[in-house]
Amino acid sequence: MCGIFAVIGSREVSSLLIDGLRKLEYRGYDSAGIATIENLNNDQIGQLNVKKSKGKLKNLSNLIKQNTPKGHVGVGHTRWATHGKPDEINAHPHLDSSGQIAVVQNGIIENYRDLARDLKLKGIKFTSETDTEIIPHLIGLEIENSLANGLSQNEQTLLRAVQKVVTLLEGTYAIAVIWSKAPNALVVASGHAPLVLGFGEGEFFCASDTPALVGFTRTFLPLRDHEIALLTPLGIELYDDDGNRQHRAPSLLEGTELFADKRNFRHFMLKEIYEQPETAQLWIDRFLPIDLPSQNSVALPISKSILDKIEQIQILACGTSRHAGMVGAYLLEQFAGIPTKVYFASEFRYAPPPLSPNTLTIGVSQSGETADTLAALRMEKERRDSIDDDNFSFHQLGIINRVESSLGRELDNVIDIGSGIEIGVAATKTFLGQMLAFYGLTLLFASHRQSRTPQEILNLSNDLKLIPKQLTDLIKKHDSVSKEIAHMFVETKDVIFLGRGINYPIALEGALKLKEISYIHAQGYPAGELKHGPIALLDQHVPVVSIAIPGVVYEKVLSNSQEAKARDARLIGVSTYGPESDIFDELFTIPDVSEWVSPLLTVVPLQLFSYHIAAHKGLDVDQPRNLAKSVTVE
């Protein structure tokens, strides 16, 4: 989703801005822009230069090559359209009427219509359809007032104007502002949308996410909600929303592969699919103990008091993370015996269930920045904090891939799935990491509560330890199988995915992957539901992908698949090889594993299937249209 990168220092910043924005490209965007201030006469007044373009960043960088904006301070933005079409006019930065103030913004200003109406009554003319444009106009008016009251044209005036204007904004925002009359200042502010400050040598940065800082500095400090910072070539001043100066020590970015390269893979998505055995092995090494099934022996950050107390679990997440949560809920209920419900975070926010006592709330998010998930967790915390009864306290856990994210910072207990940075918008290795976190929780609860026999717990643990090797073989095999058959589905318009039990969420995930990157309409159903409606869609043009793994629902899924085949649907199986395999027109074979661990494997051919269809169609696999890696708006 939208990305911000801003810098102030002693170097020319245009190319730095493009470099920073490039590292945020993976988040998804549809236009980009930068503004710099060229310091013309001795620090007193500068000239604002703005360049914007529709589409990919390379369009902007070509534009800049022809005529490079000069300046040692600048703001940059990649925009994912919310208000107004993805075109040059709506691209950020946006300017005030005098053309002296430039603003980039992430988030959504919910009261922008009211604010715009007031501004129009004051004679302000708008040039874009965005919610953002009110911000430079408001700052412009505020500065005009200050100057009329005798304040000078300097960075403090800009800072004060921003401090006042943010109090008018409702919704979520992260902004970076420059003013041509204060060429040594960059002011940034955050209201429920992430921003991090970066401390370089003689230069200072601000970005919507840490990967943008890589290559510039490793020293960073996340802004807290409603904090404002003034960046100058000499340093950074940080203020809370009451204008009190804040002093916090910055942290050091960890990890060597914060910004990964594609190696020899054609796309990041394929590379990330291939990294799944490593994700699984790292997880096993970190979390799966040798001495299972002794109590509490899974090395997860869950206190004994939580394990003792929890009577039910609720999982809040969106998209693929919700599918991982569904696999988790199946395991927690069916294996560990704990009632568990999964909610769309966006629905939970506005229609939460009645409060239940002794409940563990789990937020699942690879980015840790998903606005709906964050808001749902905050809302749940607030309503539990307002009750004076210990049984209703907020026990929370985050399952994330970015410990330095907003979710990581806000929750006391997190499981870091440690999958490494994922660049492809379509989640693959992080989905595996999330599912593995739930296997860990399941083992932990089951052994702590003795809801399964030691042998059953040991069997599950041993089966998990085989997964990395099985994944390696599976990926190799199905990479070529799916590449071979991809061409058959290039003209396909609709695909139905069927699964049952623990593999129903995998049917949903398979359908989501196909929609996201190949733009083929796909729907996942619990196989038993086929005959209750979706079967009406079937004919020879609508393929059915059926996940049939020996276990409690194997025969049932096979019967449901037969029903599809009887309607001439082309049947693609994700199944073990056996006498029943001949019902499938195409078969992705899965090793003969216990049904409990099967989702860790059945998802792989579906990821590869979607990948090869999209790649065959020549689509932008890593940055599919309209999608974003971090969905930071509601």
427 binds ligand M6R, rule: CB under 6 A? yes
CA dist list (Å): 596 to 138, 427, 443, 467, 530: 57, 22, 12, 12, 24
Burial (CB < 10 A; 0-12, 13-18, 19+), residue 304, is: exposed
d(CA 529, CA 109): 41
Please say if 2 is a catalytic residue: yes
* Residue 136 vs 319, nearer CB to ligand M6R: 319
| Catalytic residue of the set 2, 23, 54, 513 | 2
Dihedral Cα 179, 180, 181, 186, nearest 10 deg: 40
Query: DSSP alpha helices (H): ranges in 402-539?
Result: 406-410, 429-449, 454-465, 467-485, 504-518
Applying CB under 6 A, which of residues 95, 189, 236, 318 lies at the interface with ligand M6R? 318
Binding part of the chain for ligand M6R, among 359-367, 379-387, 466-474, 566-574 by CB under 6 A, reads 359-367
Minimum gap (Å) between residue 207 Cβ and ligand M6R: 18
Minimum gap (Å) between residue 55 Cβ and ligand M6R: 21
d(CA 253, CA 596): 37
Applying CB under 6 A, which of residues 61, 361, 373, 632 lies at the interface with ligand M6R? 373
Minimum gap (Å) between residue 1 Cβ and ligand M6R: 9
Minimum gap (Å) between residue 183 Cβ and ligand M6R: 37
Applying CB under 6 A, which of residues 9, 74, 319, 526 lies at the interface with ligand M6R? 319
Binding part of the chain for ligand M6R, among 94-102, 177-185, 317-325, 533-541 by CB under 6 A, reads 317-325
d(CA 295, CA 156): 59
* Residue 203 vs 272, nearer CB to ligand M6R: 272
Please list, in sequence order, all residues whose beta carbon lies within 8 angstroms of the beta carbon of residue 460, skipping any fewer than 6 positions away.
335, 439, 442, 443, 452, 594, 596, 597
Please list, in sequence order, all residues whose beta carbon lies within 8 angstroms of the beta carbon of residue 302, skipping any fewer than 6 positions away.
397, 413, 441, 444
516 binds ligand M6R, rule: CB under 6 A? yes
The 10 Å CB-count burial string (b at 16+, else e) for 163-181 is bbbbeebebbbbbbbbbbb
Residue with tokens 């998505």: 269
| The residue type at 248 | R
Please list, in sequence order, all residues whose beta carbon lies within 8 angstroms of the beta carbon of residue 247, skipping any fewer than 6 positions away.
238
367 binds ligand M6R, rule: CB under 6 A? yes
Please say if 318 is a catalytic residue: no
* Residue 212 vs 627, nearer CB to ligand M6R: 627
Sheet holding 571-575, edge to edge: 521-526, 494-499, 544-548, 571-575, 586-589
Binding part of the chain for ligand M6R, among 212-220, 319-327, 347-355, 471-479 by CB under 6 A, reads 319-327
Binding part of the chain for ligand M6R, among 281-289, 421-429, 448-456, 610-618 by CB under 6 A, reads 421-429
SS3 of residue 532 by DSSP: helix
Minimum gap (Å) between residue 366 Cβ and ligand M6R: 4
d(CA 456, CA 458): 5
The residue of the chain with the least Cβ separation from ligand M6R equals: 319
Question: Following DSSP, what letter does each residue of 269-297 receive, concatenated?
Answer: HHHHHHTHHHHHHHHHHHH--SSTTSTT-
Angle at 369 between CA 418 and CA 14, to 5 degrees: 100
426 binds ligand M6R, rule: CB under 6 A? yes
Applying CB under 6 A, which of residues 39, 366, 406, 560 lies at the interface with ligand M6R? 366
* Residue 326 vs 569, nearer CB to ligand M6R: 326
d(CA 374, CA 191): 13
Binding part of the chain for ligand M6R, among 240-248, 425-433, 473-481, 498-506 by CB under 6 A, reads 425-433
| Catalytic residue of the set 51, 52, 515, 629 | 629
* Residue 293 vs 505, nearer CB to ligand M6R: 505
Binding part of the chain for ligand M6R, among 224-232, 367-375, 546-554, 595-603 by CB under 6 A, reads 367-375
Please list, in sequence order, all residues whose beta carbon lies within 8 angstroms of the beta carbon of residue 254, skipping any fewer than 6 positions away.
none
* Residue 9 vs 440, nearer CB to ligand M6R: 440
Applying CB under 6 A, which of residues 106, 132, 163, 370 lies at the interface with ligand M6R? 370
Number of residues near ligand M6R (by CB under 6 A):
16
Residue with tokens 């099967």: 598
* Residue 319 vs 499, nearer CB to ligand M6R: 319
425 binds ligand M6R, rule: CB under 6 A? yes
Minimum gap (Å) between residue 372 Cβ and ligand M6R: 8
321 binds ligand M6R, rule: CB under 6 A? yes
Site string for ligand M6R, 614-633 (x = CB under 6 A): -------------x--xx--
d(CA 444, CA 437): 11
560 binds ligand M6R, rule: CB under 6 A? no
362 binds ligand M6R, rule: CB under 6 A? no
Binding part of the chain for ligand M6R, among 52-60, 246-254, 313-321, 326-334 by CB under 6 A, reads 313-321
Q: Which residues are catalytic?
A: 2, 629
Q: Which chain residues interact with ligand M6R by CB under 6 A?
A: 318-321, 365-367, 370, 373, 425-427, 516, 627, 630-631
